[in-house]
Homo-oligomer: A and B are copies of this chain.
């Protein structure tokens, strides 16, 4: 089954101890798509300005994405500028230029409205809600957000969670929105807000999945050469949601495998700048790494 992803398509300028890159193709929806496309047809719902390089459009199309609902509007493309230092676990945002994102009203084709798997990547919760209302029969809806919205649109975000199947957050966001220090208590509280399942991303420390029926916890895939972590969380979500869309099941085994696919997808993402590594991935690359990943922790009693 195909998937709709709403989010940003951006021009990212990033500095890490391993180098500096200007105006790379990035954004939450772009990173998500590069992983999800390995499992299913991805329908991108986003906006860029008329300064957006044509080559990026051609590139996204060449990766098999459906760009019907990618709006090209008058104005500037969303830009993000950031830096990572030391252990590369936290991004320091140096500058954000919203550009056309500030007037974004997502459009979606009649055909796409029927799609059942939806991921609302990080944008204003009002925009996320706007798109969700247009969907005819959502079956599995994931949502990501960020600290900015947690602080500035807390009520809207919590209202939206009642219509969400899987809330995806990083550990800081989970603690901030729930007010809980213990990460399991945080997940429980977030679930009580309405999301059926909660997925907490912990960067190099892996991921925690929480629902009424299951608690899953996976380590990260060990990566020695982390070059640029930008988009790792969205890549994770792309692998996770992409796999679930492909299998069409959300049972215990499917969820654990989805977490593992998200994990290995994210491990590729951090190995190079921007989409460099994930855009050249083939499904077999994921399969090979997931087999190695399993070896990191599987044991028999």
Contact = CB atoms under 8 A, between A and B. Distances in A.
A83 to B, nearest CB: 14
A58 interface: no
A260 B296 CA distance: 12
A182 B206 CA distance: 15
A208 B205 CA distance: 10
Contacts of A296: 215-217
Contacts of A226: 182
A301 B222 contact: no
B299 A291 contact: no
A113 interface: no
Contacts of A185: 224
Contacts of A216: 296-297
A181 B298 contact: no
A294 interface: yes
B257 A218 contact: no
A188 interface: yes
Given A88-B181, A217-B219, A301 B290 contact: yes
A102 interface: no
Interface string A81-97: 00000111000000000
A226 B181 CA distance: 11
A202 B220 CA distance: 12
A204 interface: yes
Nearest to A292: B215
A253 B297 CA distance: 10
Contacts of A86: 181
A293 to B, nearest CB: 9
A295 to B, nearest CB: 8
A167 to B, nearest CB: 17
Interface string A271-301: 0000000000000000100110010111111
A257 B291 CA distance: 19
22 contacts: A86-B181, A87-B175, A88-B181, A183-B204, A184-B223, A185-B224, A188-B224, A205-B205, A205-B206, A206-B219, A216-B296, A217-B296, A217-B297, A218-B219, A219-B297, A253-B299, A253-B300, A257-B299, A257-B301, A291-B301, A294-B301, A298-B298
Given A184-B222, A287-B301, 7 more contacts: A87-B182, A184-B224, A216-B296, A216-B297, A217-B220, A256-B299, A260-B299
Pairs of residues from A and B, 5 with the lowest C-beta to C-beta distance, nearest first: A205-B205, A217-B219, A256-B299, A87-B181, A184-B224
